[in-house]
Structure 1
Amino acid sequence: MSTERSLGEEKDGRSAKPVVLVVDDDEDLADTCEYWLRDDYDVRVAYGGEDALNQIDETVDVVLLDRRMPNLSGDDVLEALRDRGLDCHVAMMTAVEPDTDIVDMPFDDYLVKPVTKTDVREAVDELVVRSDFDEEVREFFALESTQEALKTRDVDDLRDPAVLNELREQVETVRRGQADEIEKRQRQLDRLHHINDLLRKVDRALVDATTREEIEETVCESLASFDAYAAAWVARYSDAVDAVTCRTSAGVAPPQLNGTADAVTPVVRSALQERQVQLVDEVSAEHFAAVFETNGTAPPDLDRESLSAVVVPVTYRDTAYGALVIYTDRADSLDEDDRTVFEELGATIGHGINAAESKRLLYSDTAVELEFSHEDRDDLFVDLSATVDCRVTLQGFSPAADGGISCYVSTEGADTEAVLEYLTTHDSVESARTITDGPEESMFEVRITGSTVLGPLIEFGASVNTLTATNGDGSLAVTVSPDADLRVLSDTVQSAFPAIEVVAKREVEQSVQSTETFKRELEDKLTSRQHDVLETAFVSGYFDWPRGSTAEEVAESLGISAPTFHEHLRSGERKLMETFFEETTETATTEKRRVTNN
């Protein structure tokens, strides 16, 4: 019997990031550690012992502590924080080679410099996990870390080799008293290191991959190369026909799912609809046959009864690229940390695919242009044109990191005040202002948080060529890379705006302007004085932050007044922006007149 469940709770239920305090008088190293850890931890930095004692409190979970610091050493800091009764985990991070004097020091781990990003991240990750262990188990792992540190030294070089024997006996005594719990926790730590190895391997693979196919193949191969996983494949799900097909696989030949996907489709559908990792505790005979036996290549040593499947949605924001299906015999031990890691893996792959397709569109000589009819009044611009009875044209837009979009739209045949009233009272509009108010055409800047087709298009990596709407009747043209999954794009757009339909698909050529051509075009527009002002400002550091030179200093070096400098600078900057943005916003495609669907 096959049983399915969602693995773990929603992300919103997770606790805040653990707090890490990095203490080192080497400011460059301290800042580097902060950079390595900032994505997963709330990191604080202290550049000395006294600074550390001022910052440390009960909210700190882990301390990375240098031993050799002026004024107040790391050993003194360690003693002081233990005297305060603080229960944080401490990893000594030092160039001082360990000796038997460290046996009585109450730290939890010992890192010898130079350290790598992997050293630091693994140490912090493990110490955070150890914080949930029982006190005696935590003591065992702290003692074991001390023992491992001393193993790096030749016994004859230690101050008191007898202390090492006493330490070994102490470690074994604690181990015997907590054998079962220590074994359980050791498996947990081993799994943590395995998962981190997996993520690093996938991350390295994604850096080198350039296409969606290459990313998917690399991820599957990386997973299948680990002993913990029997096989992996990428499932493509079609909502229109409620069916699953295989895009690529490793560890098993690509499953031939035609007519046999009923055992697989429901769990893939659930993963994508719920945007949540799904676990098949026990793979059913039908599921096993569909994946491993339809092509007659089931591994002979694969035991179905002990096999579980993890189904990971591969998404980027609202775009679902498919699901990663992984088979393992360790699913019975998966916990919240594993769920988080698999979710991170799916998001990482989705981001990689989106970036690859966007880059492919940018540098490809050819592209695919899709034209949509757009009458869905859930879209702000279509509804605006119908409500105010006018023509609305998108002139440009700029996505923000928080998911909002700053749009620049023009209207024709409408009262400016009526348009502004509509925009400022719309639920999805954060702000709106009039840029120009003309008798025939007006321009507005609108900050939008939703209710526009631009959102899913941006997330997919499509380039929006035109978006217009007249009295509720709209049209939309976008360009995507030639190897983009058009079904995913269509499903993504229509799931949010059902009244949008594809009316044409064209293969187009993209013109690419060389750097030299761009420079010649710009130089033709600039006056000699504007060129000199821009070049002098650039080389003197005027555009740096903080500025290397002030406007007055640059003006003086040119022998002109500051107001004259600003006048030429603004004119030159304007021409630079015009040259760049006119090139990027003009239609840079030539249709081959091969309409494949209308």
Structure 2
Amino acid sequence: MATELSAESDTQRSTPTVLVVDDDQDLADTCRYWLEGEGYRVRTAYGGEDALDVVDEEQVDLVLLDRRMPRLSGDEVLDELRERGHDCPVAMMTAVAPDTDIVDMPFDEYLVKPVAEEDVLDAAEELLARDSFSEDVREYFALEATESALSSRDEENLRDAGVLGDLRDELSEAYEDHEAEIERREQQLDRLVHVNRVIRSIDRTLVEASTRETIESEVCEALVRTESYCAAWIAEYNDHSRGIQTRSTAGGLTDNVDADPDGQLQECVAEAVESGKPQVVSSIAESHGEAVFEDTVEASETAAVVVPLAYREKSYGALLVYTVESHVFTDHELSVFVDLGDHIGNGINAVEQRKLLLADTIAELEFRHADTADPFVALSRDTGGTFTLRGVASTDEVGLTCFVEVEDADADEVLERAADHDAVDHVRLVTEGGESLFELSVTSAAIETLSDVGATVNTFRVEDGEGRIVAEVAPDADLKAIVAAVQSAFQEISVLSKREVERSVQSTEAFKQGLSDKLTDRQQTALETAYAAGYYEWPRDSTAEEVAEAMDIAAPTLHEHLRAGERKLLDAFVDETN
């Protein structure tokens, strides 16, 4: 059977905006915390009037709305939203027990307080997915939510039990009119909610996982704990041979899972890893199914999604997930799988970085670097200055922000040339003098590439357009892949040495003693007093004036002691961690 490769969306969904409306500020803020933790953009309103102002001022994709609020009730807010033409999904989230008066209310979901984190997140995910359905199917799901809310009560306690019967008849009629589409959408919603729950469970696993194998095994097992997916496995990908090899499996798969008689898996995994986009196999080739599926799975009725696993530029292979029926993966479902792939890649990278930090022995790579495509090399050559990396401030999806010390170069010339370089997104002169300090955000540099593939740059110095980079990696890291990544990005870069280095380990007591030797008695007393008085809490338990009074010194004197002590404390910390 022919294999069709497709991905319905080339871009991830934009970040949805959720409006939480509740006069209980603690609950509203708690919901905001939950939702922001899952990547949503969240606005809060503590009253009906404020809620209407928000939806008039900006695009809102979903509203969580309390019913019982002073001045303007949730029911009134809902009616006004619809009057003003706002058709975004609305979930009533309230302690008001549902009754037959809700039948004519234009909401999409009804949550009865108290609500748990999973209730709120599941509702948000499902309602946002429903928004792409046809109008008739959206109305069916809204009717179903109303019926479900009323069915949670004893019928004899309803104002008019006959209304519930009429609602059920209307629901049955709507189902019969759109049965095929409704069943398909229900399956999609089940998968969607399940994958999001998997992501949340994986987040908890990532906190505790100590190995890459633990993460991969938990991911595969979590995906097949429901009927939505019949099998899952993670494939390692070799970008030189474009071959694949099994790392972890779960579900109805044989030991021969990476058998690939027709080359379809190799092609699909290669496309996913190299493009960074999920790939859909709408029909599994029969020859592949015979090789890898147990008898309980009918290959001809199976579809699959292939999800790349990566952290920035470093690939960790791909996740393959099989469904028990052929279906079209929606844009929303694919975007959730993209999120899952990002979570897994981030988790594996975090485990490898922890391993690097804790390792007694590390691998060290030293490079000679003279490629002027790198802004630091180009700036050193053009200005005659010596550039030394002092620290990395932050990383994001598009580059690296770092601090660089520059000697023997005019600061204004460095600023001008840096601003003109294509790979420099932002430059700022922090301090000027014999050794000027610059902040640069770069989108392409060797140290940025090394960071992308999980290496830690220990030293980087460029003089007269030629640099030396020393980077640390875990002892079991793929050194060939790291070197290949750097050399594919920059032509004029070569490896000078590869070596294993024993890491010196300083005891806690030695660290304390070394710090104590650096601090004066007054600096140490100021730090300890300020800490004990809650000066470093936020909001502060004690002001600087109060701490100074406790030490019987002036506030300016206290600030001098604290600044000097904090600087020495940070020096000791950086020295210990480098």
Q: 1:34 deviation in Å? A: 1.6
| 1:2–1:281 contact (8 Å) kept in structure 2 | no
**Structure 1 residue corresponding to 2:533, chosen from 509, 523, 540:** 540
Match of residue 33 from structure 1? 31
- Superimposed CA distance per residue, residues 536-570 of structure 1 (whole angstroms, 9 cap, x where no aligned partner): 22333433444444333332332212222222222
What is the 5 A alignment of 1:15-94?
A: 16-38=14-36, 39-57=38-56, 59-94=59-94
Following superposition of structure 1 onto structure 2, how do residues 201-350 of structure 1 map, counting pairs within 5 Å?
A: 201-251=201-251, 252-253=253-254, 255=256, 262-284=263-285, 287-288=288-289, 292=292, 298-350=293-345
Shift of 1:51: 2.6
> Which amino acid in the other structure matches residue 23 of structure 2?
D
Q: What does 1:116-135 correspond to in 2, within 5 Å?
A: 116-135=116-135
**Structure 1 residue 83: Cα displacement:** 4.5
Distance in 2 separating the partners of 1:254 and 1:478: 39
Pick which of 308-317 and 403-412 moved more.
403-412
Q: Give the 3 Å change call, closer, same or farther, for CA 396–80 of structure 1 in structure 2.
A: closer
How many equivalent pairs are there?
Answer: 574
Distance in 2 separating the partners of 1:493 and 1:29: 49
Aligned equivalents of 2:396, 2:63: Cα separation in 1: 31
Q: Partner amino acid for 2:423?
A: S
Deviation for aligned residue 1:389: 5.4
Aligned partner of 2:5 in structure 1 is 5
After superposition, the Cα gap between the structure-2 partners of 1:109 and 1:493, relative to the gap in structure 1 and judged at 3 Å, is same
Equivalent residues of 1:63, 1:90 under 8 A apart = yes
Q: Classify 1:559/1:40 alpha carbon distance in 2 versus 1 (closer, same or farther; 3 Å).
A: closer
User: Which moved further from structure 2: 246-255 or 340-349?
Assistant: 246-255
Out of 432, 448, 454, the position equivalent to 1:455 is: 448
Shift of 1:432: 4.5
Instruction: Report what 1:156 is aligned to.
Output: 156
Give 1:496 deviation, angstroms: 1.7
C-alpha distance 266-466 of structure 1, shift in aligned 2 (>3 A): same
SS at match of 1:512: coil
Asked if the contact 2:190/2:228 (under 8 Å) is kept, the reply is no
Asked if the contact 2:316/2:345 (under 8 Å) is kept, the reply is yes
Work out the CA distance in 2 between the residues paired with 1:369 and 1:72: 65
Contact 2:129 2:332 survives alignment (8 Å): no
Q: 1:330 to 1:508 in 2, by over 3 A?
A: farther
CA distance in 2, matches of 1:423, 1:470: 16
Distance 1:434 1:574 in 2: 17
In the alignment, is the contact (CA less than 8 A) between 1:246 and 1:254 conserved in 2?
no
- Tell me the secondary structure at the aligned position of residue 477 of structure 2: coil
**For the Cα contact (< 8 Å) 2:234–2:249, is it kept in 1?**
yes
Shift of 1:422: 4.1
Partners in 2 of 1:258 and 1:184 — Cα distance?
31
Contact 2:399 2:444 in 1 (8 A): no
Distance in 2 between the 1:100 and 1:408 partners? 64
Structure 1 residues 372 and 283: alpha-carbon distance in aligned structure 2, compared to 1, 3 A threshold: farther
Residue 176 of structure 1: how far off its partner (Å): 3.5
Q: Are the counterparts in 1 of residues 96 and 112 from structure 2 also a CA contact under 8 Å?
A: yes
Instruction: Specify whether residues 321 and 486 from structure 1 end up closer, same or farther in structure 2 by C-alpha distance, changes over 3 A only.
Output: farther
Aligned positions of 1:404-553 closer than 5 A: 404-410=399-405, 422-429=417-424, 430-433=426-429, 435=431, 437-438=433-434, 442-553=435-546
Tell me by how many angstroms 1:420 deviates: 5.4
Does structure 1 conserve the Cα–Cα contact (< 8 Å) formed by 2:32 and 2:44? Answer: yes
Which range is displaced more, 147-156 or 124-133?
124-133
Question: Percent of aligned positions with the same letter in both sequences?
Answer: 49
Q: Aligned to 2:560, what secondary structure does the other structure show?
A: helix
The 8 Å contact of residues 67 and 93 in structure 2, kept in 1 or not, is answered as yes
Name the structure 2 match of 1:594: none
Deviation per residue, 1:471-508 (Å, 9 max, x gap): 44433222122343434433332332244344433333
Deviation at residue 321 of structure 1 after TM alignment:
1.7
Partners of 2:210 and 2:427 lie apart in 1 by 38
The one-letter code matched in structure 1 to 2:277 is: Q
Looking at structure 2, the residues matched to 18 and 391 of structure 1 have their Cα atoms a distance apart, in angstroms, of: 46
**TM-score when normalising by structure 1:** 0.86
1:576 aligns with 2:577: no
CA contact (8 A) 1:248 1:254 kept: no
Q: 1:527 to 1:154 in 2, by over 3 A?
A: same
Give distance in 2, aligned partners of 1:126 and 1:417. 54
Are the structure 2 counterparts of residues 495 and 575 from structure 1 closer, same or farther at C-alpha, using a change threshold of 3 Å? same
Question: 1:370–1:490: structure 2 CA closer, same or farther, 3 Å change rule?
Answer: same
Output the aligned Cα RMSD: 3.1
| Cα distance change of structure 1 residues 448 and 421 upon mapping to structure 2, 3 Å threshold | same
Residues in 1 aligned to 2:414 and 2:198: alpha-carbon distance in whole angstroms? 53
Counterpart code for 1:529: R
Letter in 1 for 2:279: Q
Equivalent residue number for residue 590 of structure 1? none
Deviation at 1:117, TM superposition (A): 1.5
In structure 2, distance between residues paired with 1:101 and 1:468: 73
Q: Return the alpha-carbon distance in structure 2 between the equivalents of residues 121 and 186 of structure 1.
A: 18
Does the CA-based 8 Å contact 2:260-2:288 persist in structure 1? no
Using the alignment, how far apart are the partners of 1:259 and 1:133 within structure 2? Answer: 37
Q: Which runs of 5+ in 2 are unaligned?
A: none
Q: Does 1:140 align with 2:140?
A: yes
1:199 aligns with 2:199: yes
The alignment status of 1:555 with 2:548, answered yes or no, reads yes
Contact 1:537 1:554 in 2 (8 A): yes
- On the 8 A contact 1:232/1:327 being kept in 2, the answer is yes
Letter in 2 for 1:563: P
Note the C-alpha offset of 1:26. Answer: 0.9
* 8 A contact 1:239–1:491 mirrored in 2: no
Rate the CA distance shift 1:84–1:419 in 2: closer, same or farther, 3 A: closer
Show CA shifts across 1:326-376 (max 9, x none).
333445321211221221111111111111111121223332222334343
Report if aligned partners of 1:420, 1:434 keep a CA contact under 8 Å in 2.
no
Distance 1:43 1:287, change over 3 A: same
Cα deviation, 1:129-175, whole Å, max 9, x if unaligned, reads: 33344444333322221221122222333343333323323322333
